[in-house]
């Protein structure tokens, strides 16, 4: 019987080791990427934010109705020109795929800035800076400064635009923020340089 116990113990050791090796501790849920390939223009991907339902935070001094309720944003003078926002972001099929932060700041020393960080848990993150003045078409244009994981070797541009909801539906919101990214991989350029 003791021999059976020992055999069981070895099996237990092996099964636990195999289980931890073969079954991932983390398995992020993925939504299908909806990327459009353009001839000679890289790949574009569209994200959007439904306002106000996807807005998590508006961080700005002196707001009478803070979002979320109970938020105590610092009233330091140094933060007077800063507006921080947090959102959930959606893909072209209106499914939530990540979270995003948007910083808009006006400061005499650093100048005016508008920046986005998109964080897609299953794919990576992107850090983008935008022009503060919108174009004639109402878009703000910007560029990718840095990316992680899937976006680590990308370069490209982004546009931000506000699309007001003009429908008369009862559940309609104020509108949506659309982010259109146009990224292309630099991987093959790097290889060409090496060669």
Binding to other proteins, residues 148-177 (CB under 8 A):
148-149
21 near other proteins (CB under 8 A): yes
CB 123 within 8 A of CB 155: no
Secondary structure letter of residue 32 according to DSSP: P
Residues near 112 by beta carbon (within 8 Å), at least 6 away in sequence: 104, 105, 106, 132
Run of H or E residues at 22: helix 2-22
Q: Which of 61, 115, 134, 153 binds other proteins (CB under 8 A)?
A: 115
Phi and psi at residue 108, to the nearest 5°:
-65, -35
Q: Provide, rounded to whole angstroms, the least separation between the CB of residue 154 and other proteins.
A: 13
User: Residue count at the site for other proteins (CB under 8 A)?
Assistant: 72
56 near other proteins (CB under 8 A): yes
Q: Which of 5, 40, 64, 171 binds other proteins (CB under 8 A)?
A: 5
* CA gap 63, 72 in Å, rounded: 10
Angle at 60 between CA 50 and CA 48, to 5 degrees: 15
Q: Which of 34, 35, 99, 180 binds other proteins (CB under 8 A)?
A: 99
Strand residues in 18-95 grouped as ranges (E): 35-38, 42-51, 55-59, 82-90
Between 124 and 173, name the residue whose CB sits nearer to other proteins.
Answer: 124
Residues 175-194 that bind other proteins (CB under 8 A): none
Q: Which of 51, 97, 177, 179 binds other proteins (CB under 8 A)?
A: 97
Of 36-44, 49-57, 165-173, 179-187, the segment contacting other proteins by CB under 8 A is 49-57
142 near other proteins (CB under 8 A): no
Tokens 């919101």, residue located: 173
59 near other proteins (CB under 8 A): yes
Q: Which of 34, 35, 113, 180 binds other proteins (CB under 8 A)?
A: 113
> Which tokens in the block code for residue 124?
């990576």
Between 117 and 141, name the residue whose CB sits nearer to other proteins.
Answer: 117
């Amino acid at each position: 019987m003791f021999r059976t116990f020992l055999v069981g113990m070895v099996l237990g050791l092996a099964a636990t080791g195999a289980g931890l090796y073969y079954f991932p501790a983390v398995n992020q849920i993925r939504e299908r990427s909806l990327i459009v390939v353009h001839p000679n223009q890289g790949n574009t991907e569209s994200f959007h934010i439904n306002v106000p339902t996807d807005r998590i935070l508006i961080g700005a001094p002196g707001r009478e109705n803070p979002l979320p309720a109970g938020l105590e944003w610092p009233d330091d003078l140094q933060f007077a020109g800063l507006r921080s926002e947090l959102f959930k972001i959606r893909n072209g099929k209106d499914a939530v795929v990540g979270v995003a932060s948007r910083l808009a700041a006006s400061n005499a020393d650093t100048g005016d800035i508008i920046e986005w960080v998109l964080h897609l848990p299953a794919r990576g993150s992107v850090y983008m800076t935008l022009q503060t003045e919108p174009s004639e078409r109402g878009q703000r244009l910007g560029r990718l400064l840095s990316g992680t994981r899937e976006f680590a070797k990308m370069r490209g541009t982004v546009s931000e635009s506000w699309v007001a909801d003009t429908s008369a539906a009862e559940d309609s919101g104020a509108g949506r923020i659309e982010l259109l990214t146009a990224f292309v991989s630099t991987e093959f350029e790097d290889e060409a340089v090496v060669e």
